[in-house]
Amino acid sequence: MGPGMKSVFATHMGLVLAGLFSFVLMGAGQSLYGPALPAFARDFGISTGQAGLLISLHWIGSALGVAVMYLRGDKVSPRHALAAMGIGALLVGMGVSWGATLAGALVLGSGYGASTVIYNRRFLMIFAARGPSMLAALNAIFGIGAICAPLVFVAIGSDPGIAFLGVAALTAVTFALAGPIAPIAPVVAGTTGRFVVRPVILGFGALAIGTEACLIGLGPTALIAQGLTEAQAAELLSLFFVAFLGMRLALVAFAGRIPPFTLYLCAMAGAAVSAAGSAITGQPGWFIAIGGCAGLFFPGYYMSGVRQMGEDRRVSPTLIAAGMAGGIAAPVLLSAVMAVAGDIAFFVVVAWVTALTALAATALRPRMAVAAA
């Protein structure tokens, strides 16, 4: 680590540590939805398709968090985001009613969305030339929580209440240790720099994050339909995130050397092949391979979007909001398909969507290399 990096860490130590711990907790909270869905369905006497609404509510909350950051980011600090995550996890963990559980997912998601905006933009800014690599590292940290949470879930007897209460407790500890950090600067008043809206890249972002949300939230249910037990599906989700983390850690070394949209295209193509392999063979190893591809979805999309839309402060929340839209809509649509065609249809749909997205990305690749003007 050079003197410049040491200086940045020393100056922004509180922000860096709060960001790292927050992303670990974000990974843990999001990865619990998938293995917990069958348990929620049993506990509340609903179908797994209805239980899938929990995932969409999480992403609706995330979109609300991003909207708040866009409009009133000058009033929101990392501690506010942590408080929302902790309260939401507490509501989900208490399991008082299905309505309260859905409300908890909404609140938890709002903290998730706010944290995503706060830390992605700040890491990119404070680390300057090393920003892309540090952004990749930050998003890789997400994988640590996502790997551990499903394993802990199995170890505690697949009890979603205890699991989410544990996330709430760890969030409270992080809140206490984070210390005061100034809110992010407002993004509406006093904005500067280029801001060119590119609908095509925003559409690719919605497809990427929507696919990721479905893989994490509905993937375990599809694995159970292929013959795995709930515990085996949860453990496989953990391995999914091992591959996810591995690819993001590898990206730390290569960020800035490979065109980001090329990463996106390759990730979608790889996911299409892996999902098709899972649909055809039913072998669980293909799900792990999809995890490695999914690890490149967001970094490839986000860095492509920044390049195309500019450095204005509105760019980051706009890019993230587009992804959130996919995260909201995709689980609802795919749950409806699974309710009609059966849970086994999951990997067939994912294979078609990612294959068509890869084909579109190939055709539009020259346009995606154009920077904001």
Is 67 part of a structural domain of the chain?
yes
**Contact criterion met (CB below 8 Å) for 342 and 226:** no
Total number of domains constituting the chain: 1
CATH assignment at residue 94: 1.20.1250.20
Question: What does each C-alpha distance from 213 to 187, 276, 314, 346 come to in angstroms?
Answer: 27, 18, 24, 13
Please name which of 236, 219, 244, 230 lies closest in space to residue 346, comparing C-alpha atoms: 219
Please name which of 62, 85, 65 lies closest in space to residue 178, comparing C-alpha atoms: 85
**Contact criterion met (CB below 8 Å) for 87 and 39:** no
**Contact criterion met (CB below 8 Å) for 350 and 338:** no
**Contact criterion met (CB below 8 Å) for 299 and 136:** yes
CB half-sphere exposure, 286, CA atoms < 13 A: 22
- Give φ, ψ of 35 to 5 degrees: -70, -20
Angle separating helix axes 199-225 and 346-368, nearest 10 degrees:
160
- Residue 187, pLDDT score: 45
Please name which of 1, 28, 15 lies closest in space to residue 237, comparing C-alpha atoms: 28
Is 82 part of a structural domain of the chain?
yes
The set of residues, in sequence order, having a beta carbon less than 8 Å from that of 38 and lying 6+ positions away, is 48, 51, 220, 221, 224, 230
Alpha carbons 219 and 181: distance in angstroms, whole number: 37
Is 162 part of a structural domain of the chain?
yes
- The residue range of the domain holding 341 is 8-368
Is 1 part of a structural domain of the chain?
no
Is 2 part of a structural domain of the chain?
no
- Residue 189, pLDDT score: 42
Residue 229 has what DSSP assignment?
-
Is 314 part of a structural domain of the chain?
yes
CB half-sphere exposure, 241, CA atoms < 13 A: 30
Is 199 part of a structural domain of the chain?
yes
**Contact criterion met (CB below 8 Å) for 115 and 81:** yes
- Residue 373, pLDDT score: 47
**Contact criterion met (CB below 8 Å) for 327 and 238:** no
Residue that is written with structure tokens 């009609």 in the block: 340
- For the chain, 373 residues long, give each residue's pLDDT as a single digit of tens: 555 555 555 455 667 777 788 889 998 988 999 899 888 988 898 887 788 889 889 989 988 988 888 777 677 778 888 999 999 999 999 989 999 999 999 999 999 988 888 877 777 666 656 656 666 677 778 888 889 999 999 999 889 999 999 999 999 988 887 666 655 555 444 445 677 888 999 999 999 999 999 999 899 989 998 899 989 999 999 999 999 888 888 877 776 677 889 999 999 999 999 999 999 998 989 999 999 999 899 888 988 888 888 777 678 778 888 888 898 899 888 888 888 888 889 999 999 999 999 999 999 988 776 654 4
Alpha carbons 363 and 360: distance in angstroms, whole number: 5
Alpha carbons 337 and 348: distance in angstroms, whole number: 11
Please name which of 331, 329, 334 lies closest in space to residue 348, comparing C-alpha atoms: 334
Is 3 part of a structural domain of the chain?
no
**Contact criterion met (CB below 8 Å) for 271 and 211:** yes
- Residue 49, pLDDT score: 76
